[in-house]
Structure 1
Amino acid sequence: MQTAFGLLTYCSNIHPGVDWNHHFSVLQGSIPEIKNSVSKDASMGIGLRLANQASIDLSEADNFEAFQNWLTENDCYVFTVNGFPYGGFHDVVVKDQVHAPDWTTDDRVQYTIRMFKLLAKLLPAEMNEGGISTSPLSYRFWWKVESDTPTETLDYATTQATQNILLVVDKLITLKESTGKTLHLDIEPEPDGILENSTEFITWYQDYLRPLAIEYFAKKGISSDETLHILHTHIQLCYDVCHFAVSYEKPAIVVEQLSKANIAVGKIQISSAIKVDFTKDAEEKLKAIAQYDEVSYLHQVVAKKADGTFEKYQDLNHAIQAFAPEKHVEWRVHFHVPLFIGQYSELSSTQSDIVDTIAIHKQKPFTNHLEIETYTWGVLPPEVQVPLNESIAREINWVKGLL
């Protein structure tokens, strides 16, 4: 929905459905009820999540026409798409496979281009901007820092992924020329991705993306200055508040660094992580956080140690096994928890990072797309469970209150 500070929606990755018929049926059963609660008298935007198979299905003329008609009938529209998870995302073990196929593969390229073609047609006539969020290139533990086999290295993966992303940029230029729509790919840093924080994203943008793009587009007769403008327009950052909070990043510093580097933010994904203060009642809190150790998703942990340094764990169970009360003073856990809850019994959340990010955005808006992304309702402990549509509406209204 339109707010004074951009378009606000929630991401439909909260709903199941790898194929389009399944996902669409869930949207049909959920969106009207949610809209009635949060945007009864105004159009409502949808943050669409499309798995690869769903993107193939929706490309069929009959399916696309039916969806467009349904959007019109329900006074809804699509302006942003989540293109991070390629396959199943619910009722399956996802873990590190959320990155597969990664940006070193043609499958990821074709999937993303297919979604952009759909988004260009789905955007309302009066709306000229749309974005798709995507993986931070690959999962870093699939690659080696050094290897006798060059194609196994992190540098190879980063270079290959960047070159593949430029193929998408080329398509976005063509789509802008043919449709008038400005579309951007929003790279989403995540703990243990090749790009896991703002510093790594900016370094990649400056040291890999820009030089490779200048070389690539020079062959097409495009100048360096024009290439930099193309990148600023079409390759942006997906600012996932949860992910940056897990890395202990301060929103004001991140936004300032991005501005200095002349990098745009495609959307803010409004999300909250779990925070554990181990300075007192450590054993009780360890027992409390153990309830969140589930088998579906990766729940990376960044631990702050007593000496002020940090230690990272690939998943929550690894952190639990390594815990020592005299060693760790705080954990940040990559587990998207409800936005409107700041305290979970012995545990707390990074809700304050959302408040700070929105406050910065209100003072000086740095994107036009705001998307709530809490997808873990189905794996939360029972005491936190409430009816899904009611929870989604409550989150949207909570963010509207901040805005």
Structure 2
Amino acid sequence: MRLRHRSGTTLHLGYCTNVHPAEDLDGIIAQFDTYAVPIRERLGGDVLGLGLWLAAPVAEVLAADPGPRARLRRELTARGLEVVTLNGFPYRSFHDPVVKHAVYHPDWTSGERLSYTVHLARILADLLPDDAARGSVSTLPLAWREPWNATMADQAARRLDQLAAGLAAVESATGRVVRVAFEPEPGCVVETTGQAIAHLARADTGRLGICLDLAHLACAWEEPAAALKALRAGGLPIVKVQVSAAVESADPRALREYAEPRFLHQTRNPHGGAADDLDEAFARDLPGPWRVHYHVPLHADPAPPLATTTPVLREALKELAGGPEPLCDHYDVETYTWGVLPPALRPQTPRQLAEGIADELDFARTQLRDLGVTA
């Protein structure tokens, strides 16, 4: 959906489709009728924004042939859907029974990651609404932190230079600007604001920048105002914001039902304590309180003693959109964990999932409206 900042800037708010498992074009289009159209209708809008996730195989097909790209745009337009951003973090197989560390491969030392991301930029250039100022593609923060050495850092730096050149070529061919946003995440080479500045500030910041995931920011126990100030001082633009919340508890025992086999749930406490997954945190008896990289529905507070990091989300949105000029214009609700929530919280039907996502989007829209952003 489109919102208007007090400066007159259009803010795009949508939801990320990596919550859905389809990895071929027909399956992706089927998602529109099952989920996106009911969500749009529940929200009462004429247009709903989607942060599409296109797995590598379908991205290769779409990038190679304008026919399927044109079909995808027609199918979106016919349903009152639009796309200004793509999620290029998961490469493929994001809904396998076990994903864990596989989501970080291929990383930014590889040609496969470069090709995939340029393919996404080419696709997005054709999907962008005619009046959209630019497009964005989010991606992983270089690599998982181990192994990482000077040789790998040099390889990644060369890939980023090639990426910037690829984005320039897309702009030259299509007239559309697409920027790529690196998403700091716990456990990765780039986890914190300081690491983002250290590793990315020498990149082409006209085309490359940061995807600020608000759950990840909270898990790093960073204060939004200080983090954003540091990014501005370091010259790193915020290209995209993922509006997300992590689960938190002062009593770690209450988190046991959140341990599950598909995704990695990095766990952090405010004293520098860290574990790469919930099972590890329990085994090491990591002192609380914990914040866990487990995206939870924005609109639904869990039962005490559990809480969520929505206070961090609200403070971050205030910094991002509450001033005279917005610091970012692309906002994507990204709760991809609906299918692995504890059973009592998990939607049982497609309709229930669509209703939950719509309620999340309404929550995010309300937060922005409270900051003076209008429909």
* TM-score (structure 1 length as normaliser): 0.85
Aligned identity (percent) is 31
User: Which residue of 188, 200, 212 corresponds with 1:239?
Assistant: 212
Partner of 1:269: 242
Instruction: Give the partner amino acid of 2:217.
Output: F
List alignment gaps of at least 5 residues for structure 1: 144-152, 211-230, 279-284
Q: Secondary structure at the match of 2:205?
A: helix
Matched, 1:294 2:253: no
Task: Look up the match of 1:389.
Answer: 354
Match of 2:21 in 1: 16
Alignment length (residue pairs): 356
Deviations 1:20-51 (A, max 9, x none): 222222233211111111243x3222111111
Alignment partner of 1:233: what SS? coil
What is residue 283 of structure 2 aligned with on the other side?
Answer: 321
Instruction: Tell me, yes or no, if structure 1 residue 399 matches structure 2 residue 364.
Output: yes
Q: Which amino acid aligns with 1:135?
A: L
Equivalent pair of 1:46/1:80 in contact (CA under 8 Å): yes
Distance 1:388 1:154 in 2: 42
Deviation at 1:155, TM superposition (A): 2.1
**In structure 2, how many angstroms separate the alpha carbons of the residues matched to 1:25 and 1:396?**
21
Equivalent residue, structure 2, for 1:53: 57
- In structure 2, list runs of 5 or more residues that go unmatched: 6-10, 369-375
Contact 1:186 1:266 in 2 (8 A): yes
Q: Name which one, 1 or 2, has greater alpha-carbon Rg.
A: 1
Q: Counterpart amino acid of 2:307?
A: S
How many Å separate the matches in 2 of 1:87 and 1:73? 27
SS at match of 1:344: coil
Task: Indicate the SS of the match to 1:196.
Answer: coil
Higher relative contact order (CA 8 A, sep 6+): 2
The one-letter code of the counterpart of 2:168 is I
Q: Is 1:66 the counterpart of 2:61 in the alignment?
A: no
CA distance in 2, matches of 1:53, 1:301: 32
Determine the structure 1 residue equivalent to 2:8: none
Match of 2:168 among 166, 173, 186: 173
Task: Write the mapping of 1:208-227 to structure 2, written as runs, cut at 5 A.
Answer: 209-210=202-203
Determine the structure 2 residue equivalent to 1:310.
Answer: 272
Pairing 1:120–2:125 present: yes
What is the root-mean-square deviation of aligned Cα atoms in Å? 1.5
Provide the TM-score with structure 2 as the length reference.
0.91
CA distance in 2, matches of 1:378, 1:335: 12
- The answer to whether the Cα contact below 8 Å between 1:20 and 1:53 also exists between their aligned partners in 2 is no
Q: How does 1:77-88 map to 2 (within 5 A)?
A: 77-88=82-93
The one-letter code of the counterpart of 1:45 is G
2:321 and 2:328 in contact (8 A); partners too: no
- Paired residue for 2:339, among 378, 383, 387? 378
SS in 1 for 2:135: strand
> Which residue pairs with 1:154 in the alignment?
149
1:4 matched to which residue of 2? 4
